Structure 1
Amino acid sequence: MKKEQEHKPYIPAEKITPEFTVTSVISGIILAVVFGAANAYLGLRVGLTVSASIPAAVISMGVIRGLLKRDSILESNMVQTIGSAGESIAAGAIFTIPALFLWAKEGTAPYPDLWEIFLIALCGGLLGVAFMIPLRNALIVKEHGVLPYPEGTACAEVLLAGEEGGKGAGSVFSGMGIAALVKLITDGLRIASGALTVPVKALKTHFSAQIYPALLGVGYICGAKISSYMFAGGLLGWFVLIPAIAIFGGDTVLYPGTVPISQMYETGGASAIWSSYIRYMGAGAVAAGGIVSLIRSLPLIFSAFGASVKGFGSKGSSSRTDKNLDIRVTAVIAALVILLLWLYPGIPISLAGTAFIVIFGFFFATISSRMTGLVGSSNNPVSGMTIATLLVCTLLLKLSGETGSRGMTAAIAIGSVICMIASVAGDTSQDLKTGFILGATPVKQQIGELIGVFSAAAAIGGVMLLLDAAWGFGSEALAAPQATLMKMIVEGVMEGTLPWALVFMGVFIALTVELLGIPVLPVAIGLYLPLELTAAIMIGGLVRLAAERRRKASSSGILFCSGLIAGEGLAGILLALLAVFGISENIDISDKLSLGSVGTVILLVLIIFLIFCAAAKEDMTNEKTDNSR
């Protein structure tokens, strides 16, 4: 292993600048709530979340430097540290907690209340921070130059670039405004459809693509390659498997369906066949993909755990830039959280369950923190860790006699906490890497992480209850794909209710894709999601490809698309509020004004054009600068 690389932070240890201020804390809390809510909405729609660190850094620059005229880079860093916690809490929440709502609708479990969701999110988030703090010296300091932490390093570069005046915040805010406007036109005023659909009668299916800005933004950020993998999974499901079932099924009744295939197609079309059969194949593919990614990472996981624990007790210097939160404080936080999980009656976790959380939680926090340093947050197999956790803990609960509604609820609660531990630990390590490069005070950042976790946890319950009340988890508007998968896994182990033939077909599809050397998870997610979502993501990826071919892909395009995601998420929450209070019908003017399919196409072309212009913006600015010299 390489020797520890000597590091000189941007702000020297002996220099004291504003960092943990009222302004930075309040701004960070607002961003934690905003990005947490936006990512919750996005994740419940398509099963994906987008890192909030860089957009939060850009917005913090715009607020701290642009509006408030303050010049402390560490203050801006504190804003993004607190703000980025919202995304990690949202990711952990939407992966698992909606399963409790789905069981409640089936009448097998009580509805989770605001307090229960808050406590699960808070406990998982606090443990994620507490488990990561003792590892900072081993992972961030001792292995600087070994572990690159891609997002953390990129975030530091963005903040350093902001020393020139907060450049880039305008791209984020303009994206937010445009996405909110399109969302209002399609889902609020309803004067244009949110999707384009073309029947393909010869194959008894259809091609469909949504025009929502967030999906196009996701495709642009992911790039053409990852988007094409997802789209390939969608094509396999909708143009191979659905036609095979619809054409050859005839009058056969296939489990878990209860009517003949021909009747199912006549009444519900290709979507009914997808819902009854393909989503189970997709679930098997996603589960297999998550486990495969986890198995492939095992050598790295064990070496990561060993190296991290080896440096666990090492201490840094006494300088400002090496001062961590006291280990006794983190131990007390962890102990209080464990007691709360055990004793609070609304969360059915036994003493053995809390022990399971401590062991698996610390293990996966260590793994997540180190793997994030190697491959980045986007490639960190948190879903695979959650699937592995659910399989093991559900089996143990069943063997111990804790079955039925209580056993399944306990399994999801344990899985939720561990999922958040892994997600928050990875985010915390990225933020601490940014602070290490800039010269931030670790203890202040760590307190900021705790504040961000608390703020996001306090908001996420209200957001989830609101979205469920407006559209319902499991509906077409909010499919909650990851949570539905986790629910099926728990039920499959606990009750044996899964159509295992379909699930194993998905498993072997995933294994075939893996043997071809293609990343299996994007393809599996594409098979699991409706085609209209993956097609929209593919369009965004193609826009990115076109921009790169014209050498016009820039950070402005990424920031603009991040704004599209945030803007649509916030607009979606606003529309959910209007739906809950019965106001949504009052703003629906579709009977008075309708743009039809032509208007939908115009909106799609306009969004693509704006994304391309945003991607070209930075290059055009650079060309003008070069010409003036």
Structure 2
Amino acid sequence: MIGTGPGTGPGTGPPRADPDVSTPLLTAAPKRKQIEGASFTVRGVAVGLAVGLVICFSNMYFGLQTGWVSTMSMPASLMGFGLFRLLRARLDPKGLLPFSPVENVLVQTVAGSMAIMPLGCGFVGVLPAMNYLLTPEERGPVVLGWGKLLLWSLGLCYFGVVFAVPLRRQVIIRERLKFPTGFSTAVLISVLHGKAKDGEGNTSGGFASLAADGGGDGVSNRNRDRIGDRIGDRNGDGNGDGEKRAESWKRNVRLLLVCFFVSGLFTFATYFLPVLRNIPIFGSAAASAWLWTLNPSLAYVGQGIIMGPATTLHMLLGAIVGWGVLSPLAKNKGWAPAPVGDWENGSKGWIVWVSLAIMLADAIVSLGYLAFRSAKQYLPGFQLKSDRAKALLSHITHAGYAPINSSPDANDDPGTDSDGTPSLGRTGKEQDEEDAPVDQQVSNRTVVVGLALSIGFCIACTHIVFGDLVPLYATVTAVFMALLLGIMGVRAQGETDLNPVSGISKLAQLFFAFIIPQSNKSSVLINLVAGAVSEAGALQAGDMMQDLKTGHLLGAAPKAQFWGQVIGATAGAVVSTFIYRMYTTVYEVPGDLFQVPTGYVWIFTARLVTGKGLPPMAKEWALGAAVLFAVTTAVRTQTPSTRWHALIPGGIAVAVGMYNVPSFTLARTIGGLFGWWWRSTMGWKDTPLIVLASGSILGEGFLSIVCLIMESVGVPHLK
């Protein structure tokens, strides 16, 4: 599974000075302005649940196919805005409560928390591994009924949300980490509500110029913050642009509907003609023998647009190496004698070991680097030079303002130094001054009580569902390890826009291999459960922090977002259970449509770390790949702002391209290249591109429900 957000493409432009960013470091931060609109409304929650339901169906569908799941924050904001415009007469009949940006934040928060539940509750990876891939010797298969599935889902869906709250002040208010998806979502909401203009003076036609004003990787955090105060005030309230806004809105709606319809129509056609999902690209022989086909799904093209050209090209590299080099090599050498498509003894399963080694190497290096960065930030003496240490000592001694940089650059963040660490020239009280009012924040009592209850509930649910198969101490250890790894996941998402939950879960599995005796017949099952708990906590904490970043930029109340997340997570857990049972009852899993590749990654990892052994020569090739990508990942972490950064292969992306069959990767690559052509060659705006991708993804995801109904009632396929 790859990261849950976009933002992997190239930066949006070089740093630009902002006319109001010349304030010295010792100057207090501006007070938070009064925000129009209510941050929490019943209608906002209702619309968020409606949008989240559609995305949840899509994520379950695509997750069971390839493991790809996304919160789709920007599409959720766009869909929420569209629903309010279409239903304005019913939602606000007297025109007294217009749909505000902070209410849109609530909509996308509820929708996003609901959308990630297919992954957060393990429905696209862990549960298929337990249900279909565990052998009797491994205490499997484990088939859970409706009640236990629901209890398991609810047990996993809360503690990550609560744990994100105490991290908010550190990573958003003080360190001001980027969280690019959260920033981009805030910009899009500002544009939709007429609070910002694009380069042509159009208040809703696009946000590329706004992102260049503060969204690129090289742009200062100071420019990124306070969108409502800065961009809105600078551009005015949009009066006089009503006709442009209306026309732009109509164009975007038409584009969304056309893409939704075309993608849905193709999905409908593939039900009757399944051959359309696997079109040979190198001839029928290569397709049948080596699985080189193309699935021309517009939804996967849309996913590629969201992922960006760099990520999709890295995935293509993984597909070429895995399916074009390693698969024929393993087959011809006799290391994988079964047919290529056989997960157990064919090259399809053999190359998973190599992709797994790449993911582990990427996760260890990336999270190790983040741990080192955290140590530098939380232990200043660990990295300060003597002169800076003296400045810190002087600052503490005199209890005053001690600016480290006497002449700060106009683009420097008053809350951070040039290396991204928290500024030592401002006190904690001063840094917190831009935060929300106390009555809008989640109280410490709520956090303490909520964390205790959610952890206890998770432990109790896991024990009830699995009983003596999973010892209590393993579940307790998994929860607290999830909290620790959640910090790493939040920081990774804040700095890179990628939450490495795949690597985090694999590290958790590796850790539990040391504390669970291999003689325990349930060691593989215990390993799966522990990894799932760790993945759930890290995933939800990262998703919550992206939403909190959006809310902070637009002035939404953190308390409203917190309860919106809780509501969305609860609904998502229930709905995901229902959808999973429908799909697994109607379709063969694993099968031609739902291959559940992440389920195989989970079970192979569990078997590896519990000493089950590897196929011939898989160990040597996996070790070599791990060393290679440990080096490339180390180089990527040290060169984030260079022009050639995108040319260095990303380990997770290459691994995903390797364990997914080429048909999905090729379609995503087409989307990534199309998005690059759209932006760079055509020079068009980003908003229509998001609309196009969203319509394509949601069209197939929604029409898959119709295909599910037809399959359940026995509507025949055409030959």
Contact (CA 8 Å) 1:216, 1:540: kept in 2 or not?
Answer: yes
Cα gap change, 1:303 to 1:546, in 2 (>3 Å)? closer
**Structure 1 residue aligned with 2:68:** 48
Paired residues for 1:267-306 under 5 Å: 268=339, 270-272=340-342, 276-304=346-374
Q: Does 1:162 pair with 2:192?
A: yes
Does residue 215 of structure 2 align to residue 183 of structure 1?
A: no
Percent identical pairs in the alignment equals 21
Task: Please give the secondary structure, in 1, of the residue aligned with 2:610.
Answer: helix
Q: Secondary structure at the match of 2:279?
A: strand
Q: Which amino acid aligns with 2:180?
A: P
Flag the 1:290–1:91 CA change in 2: closer, same or farther, 3 A. farther
Q: Contact 1:281 / 1:504 at 8 angstroms: preserved in 2?
A: no
1:453 CA drift (Å): 0.7
Q: Are 1:454 and 2:537 matched, yes or no? A: no
Is 1:346 aligned to 2:465, yes or no?
A: yes
Contact map agreement 1:199 1:205 (CA 8 A) in 2: no
Aligned to 1:574: 706
State the Cα distance separating 1:190 from its structure 2 match. Answer: 2.5
Deviation at 1:456, TM superposition (A): 0.7
Distance, in Å, in 1 between the alignment partners of 2:675 and 2:256 is 17
Q: State the Cα distance separating 1:275 from its structure 2 match.
A: 6.7
Residue 207 to residue 103, structure 1, CA distance change in 2 (3 Å) = closer
CA gap 1:541/1:394 in 2 versus in 1, 3 angstroms: same
For 2:516 and 2:87, locate their aligned partners in 1 and report how far apart those are by CA, in whole Å: 54
Query: CA shift at 1:58, angstroms?
Result: 0.7
Alignment equivalent of 2:151, drawn from 109, 119, 136: 119
Aligned with 1:386: secondary structure?
Answer: helix
Match of 1:397 in 2: 516
| CA–CA separation in structure 1 for the residues paired with 2:119 and 2:368 | 23
> Deviation of residue 163 (structure 1)?
1.3
Deviation at 1:149, TM superposition (A): 1.4
Structure 2 match to 1:96 = 126
Q: CA shift at 1:494, angstroms? A: 2.8
Structure 1 stretches of 5 or more lacking a match?
592-629
Equivalent residue number for residue 446 of structure 2: 329
Q: 1:463 aligns with which of 571, 576, 579?
A: 579
Measure how far apart 1:531 and its partner are: 1.6
Q: 1:558 aligns with which of 690, 695, 712?
A: 690
Report the Cα distance in structure 2 between the residues aligned to 1:338 and 1:84, rounded to whole angstroms. 22
* CA-CA distance at 1:447 after TM superposition: 0.6
Instruction: Report the Cα offset of residue 6 of structure 1.
Output: 2.6
**Contact between 2:548 and 2:558, CA under 8 Å: does it hold in 1?**
yes
- Counterpart Cα distance in 1 of 2:275 and 2:600: 30
Which residue of structure 2 lines up, in the alignment, with residue 237 of structure 1? Answer: 322
Who is 1:518 aligned against?
A: 649
Q: In the TM superposition, what is the alpha-carbon distance from 1:573 to its structure 2 partner?
A: 3.4
How many residue pairs match? The answer is 559
**1:55–1:172 Cα contact (<8 Å) kept:** no
Q: Secondary structure of the residue that 2:276 maps to in structure 1?
A: coil
State the shift of 1:557 in Å: 1.6
The equivalent position to 1:363 in structure 2, one of 484, 509, 512, is 484
Aligned to 1:138: 170
Conserved in 2, the CA contact under 8 Å of 1:321 and 1:441?
no
* Aligned twin of 1:373: 494
Aligned letter for 1:88?
I
Give the SS at the match of 2:283: strand
Change (3 A) 1:437 1:109: same
Query: Partner of 2:294: helix, strand, or coil?
Result: strand
- Other-structure match for 1:595: none
Taking the TM superposition and a 5 Å limit, the aligned residue runs for 1:300-319 are 300-304=370-374, 307=377
CA displacement 1:389-420 (0-9 Å, x = unmatched): 01112331226x6x22x433332222212111
Residue 380 (structure 1) shift: 2.4
Would you say the 8 A contact 2:291–2:661 is kept in 1? Answer: no
How big is the shift at 1:331?
2.5
Q: 2:664 aligns with which of 509, 526, 533?
A: 533
Higher helix share: 1
Q: What TM-score do you get using the length of structure 2 for normalisation? A: 0.71
Tell me the alpha carbon deviations over residues 409-466 of structure 1, each in whole angstroms, 9 at most, x when there is no partner.
Answer: 3322222121111111111111111111111111111111111111111111122222
> Are 2:341 and 2:348, in contact at CA under 8 Å, matched by a contact in 1?
no
- Taking a change above 3 Å as real, the CA distance of residues 464 and 507 of structure 1, as seen in their structure-2 partners, is farther
Paired residues for 1:387-466 under 5 Å: 387-398=506-517, 403-404=520-521, 406-466=522-582
- Greater mean alpha carbon deviation, residues 442-451 or residues 510-519: 510-519
Query: What amino acid maps onto 1:359 in structure 2?
Result: F
CA distance in 2, matches of 1:113, 1:322: 43
User: Aligned to 2:441, what secondary structure does the other structure show?
Assistant: coil
The secondary structure found in structure 2 opposite 1:361 is helix
SS at match of 1:436: helix
CA contact (8 A) 1:129 1:446 kept: yes
Inter-partner Cα distance in structure 2 for 1:30 and 1:41: 17
**Correspondence 1:491-506 to 2 at 5 A:** 491-494=607-610, 496-499=612-615, 501-506=617-622
Match of 1:604 in 2: none
Mapped to 2, the partners of 1:274 and 1:560 lie a distance apart of 39
- Would you say the 8 A contact 2:119–2:125 is kept in 1? yes
The answer on whether the counterparts of 1:280 and 1:503 sit within 8 Å (CA) in structure 2 is no
Maintained 8 Å contact 2:161/2:562: yes
Q: Distance between the aligned counterparts of 1:503 and 1:474, measured in 2?
A: 26
Q: Rate the CA distance shift 1:492–1:245 in 2: closer, same or farther, 3 A.
A: closer
Q: Deviations over 1:31-57 (max 9, x none)?
A: 222212211221221222234111111
Q: Is the 8 A contact 2:342 2:348 kept in 1?
A: no
Alpha-carbon separation, structure 2, partners of 1:538 and 1:558? 16
8 Å contact 1:289–1:520 — kept in the other structure?
A: yes
Give the CA deviation at 1:134: 1.3
Q: 1:152 aligns with which of 182, 185, 208?
A: 182
Give the equivalent residue in structure 2 for 1:614.
Answer: none
CA gap of 1:398–1:67, structure 2 versus 1, over 3 A, is same
Structure 1 position 180, deviation (Å): 1.6
Q: Secondary structure at the match of 1:97?
A: helix
Read off the aligned partner of 1:502 and give its amino acid letter.
Answer: A
SS of residue in 1 equivalent to 2:466: coil
1:484 — aligned with what?
600
Q: Find 2:677's aligned residue among 528, 546, 557.
A: 546
Give the secondary structure class of the aligned counterpart of 1:347: helix
1:85 aligns with 2:113: yes
Change (3 A) 1:175 1:90: farther
CA distance in 2, matches of 1:103, 1:274: 10
Offset from partner CA, 1:545-586 (integer Å, 9 cap, x none): 33232323633122211221222122223322332x33332x
CA–CA separation in structure 2 for the residues paired with 1:74 and 1:16: 8
1:58 aligns with 2:179: no
Equivalent in the alignment of 1:39: 59
In structure 2, the residue corresponding to 1:193 is in which secondary structure? helix
Give yes or no for contact 1:286–1:521 (8 Å, CA) kept in 2: no
Structure 1 Cα separation of the partners of residues 49 and 454 of structure 2: 22
Kindly indicate whether residue 29 of structure 2 is the aligned counterpart of residue 6 of structure 1: yes
Q: Structure 1 residues 519, 4: CA separation in 2 closer, same or farther (over 3 Å shift)?
A: farther
User: Partners in 2 of 1:466 and 1:136 — Cα distance?
Assistant: 37
